[in-house]
Amino acid sequence: MKTYELFINGRFVPNGDREMFDVINPATEEVISRCPKATAEDVEAAVDAAYEAQKSWAKVPPIQRAQYLMELAQLVRDNHDLFAETNTQENGKMIAQSNDEASWLADYITYFAAQARHMMGEIIPSDRPNENILLYKMPIGVVAGIMPWNFPLFLIGRKVAPALIAGDTVVLKPSSDTPNGAYEFAKLVEKSSLPAGVINVITGPGGVVGDALTKNKKVSMVSMTGSTAAGRHIMRSAADNITKVSLELGGKAPVIIMDDCKLDETIEHVFNSRFINCGQACNCAERVYVQEGIYDQFIEKMTARIAAARYGDPHDDSVDMGPMINQNQVDHVDELVQSALAEGAKLAVGGHRASINGKGFFYEPTLLTDCRHGMRIMTEEIFGPVLPVTTFKTLDEAIEMANDCDYGLTSSIYTQNTDVMMRALNEIHFGETYVNREHFEAFQGFHAGVRQSGIGGDDGERGLDEFLETHVCYVDYDLHKQG
């Protein structure tokens, strides 16, 4: 069993008598590590270190910052197997998916290193003679990166890479369910030539560590990925200092399936969009609307597809799905399933808690049919391996139901009709819409939600802008005019 230490100002801080917490393998319920609970004083020390380091880091030319990022990316690649195994042990993710995520971390850092020469300002026409108006893109300062547990490796990249290339420094707070990957990353930071204090890693409960970060006046931005409830709390906490927040929150992604879709392909895309990472992804397909002409066919084929899916040991390549992250998530999912059945939905397959040899936080892959749009299962985020399905007659009806939602992150439509596709793209009010493909974003896109799915966004050049602020300079260059 590993024991980790806070990483502040380029070094690991001995735990001493600091309070610790256990990290549990969700597949076996075994304790796999112990991590420190940071105090408010620890948070202050980490922020102070980042604040002082940022003064000189901002003066490093972006292309040199890129060289540091490339060094980090190579260190991640050199330790790929360690990161993948760590991810599967603490998160329960299938090992194949953990291998992908370890690769994404390195690739994402590399992608943002390549942005070094793309942070461009503007020259704005002046109303006065002999004057230029210059708009600079400047580092924002210290960034508090607050991470969720569902993609604990990839989110390191999302919080760290754009911040560093922009000239910011970072205090990273991973979830208490999945802190190990972030601490293994901190070991690479310590080994690298990156200046001390540019990246700091601290752990502990959100009520202590998260609040201390968001209320600290030296933090210029809070970049948080997590639940909508947590996002609301962070906004309130950051409000006293008017600290910028960038929030990627919950989702309730609608899937509209028209009767002209390629049904077999659609089945596979929807299955993958729902059950990746045991349904624990903010962009997962959360509710499905099937046009009534193919509803029975869809249910028959999807029932067979889900019935064939297997859960089990995440190291076993023959299974489709590992465990959920913890018992609370299992309880939440089961409670939503039971409420749907009580409201009149039908259970096509699954619908029960599960275990392997009496251990693990497993839930059967589940299909609920004959749901109604207003049911809780269709309006509240499930975040688990459950697919609720209902039907519709017209595209207008489907779009209205899709938009009738507190969330607005991802969505999708399956059709061969260009007119229908374009109407959907123009009328579905979500941050992302996928057409005839699974839900999964690209590094160079812009992953952002509307309504209660967040503020700001991640990825691509627009995501980089989140970590920059503007400085407008009015320059009168007529040095020879008379006073």
Query: Which positions are catalytic?
Result: 248, 282
Residue labelled with tokens 């190291």: 315
DSSP notation for 402-448? HHSSS--SEEEEE-S-HHHHHHHHHH--SSEEEESS-S---TTS-B-
- Which value, to the nearest 10 degrees, does the dihedral of the CA atoms of residues 239, 456, 162, 61 take? -80
The tokens for 163 are 């911040």
Q: What spatial distance separates the first Cα and last Cα of the chain, rounded to whole Å?
A: 75
Contact 337, 385 (CB under 8 A): no
Contact (CB, 8 A) for 7 and 200 = yes
Sign of CA dihedral 315, 319, 320, 326: negative
Residue in the block written with tokens 């059709």: 415
Single out the residue of 111, 76, 99 nearest to residue 192, CA to CA.
Answer: 76
Q: In the block, which residue shows the tokens 């990156």?
A: 194
User: Which 8-state DSSP code applies to residue 194?
Assistant: P
Tokens of 197: 């204090």
CA distances to 312, 319, 325, 341 from 364, rounded to whole Å, are 10, 12, 14, 16
Alpha-carbon span 482 to 384, nearest angstrom:
73
